Amino acid sequence: MYRIGQGYDVHQLREGLPMWLCGVQISSPTGFVAHSDGDVAIHALCDALLGALALGDIGHLFPDTSDEFAGIDSKILLARVVKLVREHGWDLGNADITIALQAPKIAPYITDMRECLASVMGVDPSVVSVKATTTERLGFVGRKEGCEVWAVVLLERH
């Protein structure tokens, strides 16, 4: 008994804002414009988890018109989504995340990101993959206007 889900998110970059990715703060002159902390990677992961069970999306669960979610740590949103998934009778098999960002380089943060996401989701880091790529200076990612993230998850019935 398996379900698969995919999620996608984009956030705009602006100078002087904090940059959070996969629950880890990245040292960067630019960060994400957002109602929450702007963790675009966690948002894509949440949408993949919700998508696997056809439970809608995070915009539906945590509306950006609600003051409750203003500036919220996205790890809290992820924990709530994972709880919902478990309540529906499913466990995470594995997750695979691809982050497209021109700068800064996020390779040095990958281990911390995997450990952080695994700890929030209550799984082993070996089932959480985080990959990073640039877009060779092409498109809005290449022009450093934003960051794009794709996430895929497999759920197993418990």
Judged by the rule CB under 5 A, the positions of this chain that interact with Mg ion are 9, 43
Q: Which is nearer to Mg ion, 47 or 102 (CB)?
A: 47
Is the CB of residue 53 less than 8 Å from the CB of residue 5?
Answer: yes
Which CB sits closer to Mg ion, 43 or 75? 43
- For the CB of residue 27, give the shortest distance to Mg ion in the complex, in Å: 21
Report in angstroms how near the CB of residue 46 gets to Mg ion at its nearest: 9
CA distance 48 to 97: 10
Strands (E), the chain: 2-15, 19-21, 24-26, 30-32, 90-100, 128-133, 146-157
Whether 41 contacts 130, CB under 8 Å: yes
| Nearest to Mg ion of 71, 108 (CB atom) | 71
Q: Which two tokens stand for residue 130?
A: 């985080």
Nearer to Mg ion, 9 or 148 (CB): 9
Query: In sequence order, what are the beta bridge partners of 148?
Result: 10, 100
Nearer Cβ to Mg ion (33/89) = 33
Measured from each CB, the residue nearest to Mg ion is 43
CB of 89 to Mg ion, least distance (A): 27
Question: Taking the complex as a whole, how short is the minimal distance between the CB of residue 141 and Mg ion, in angstroms?
Answer: 15
Least distance in Å: CB of 43 to Mg ion?
Answer: 4
- Number of other CB atoms surrounding residue 98 within 10 Å: 16
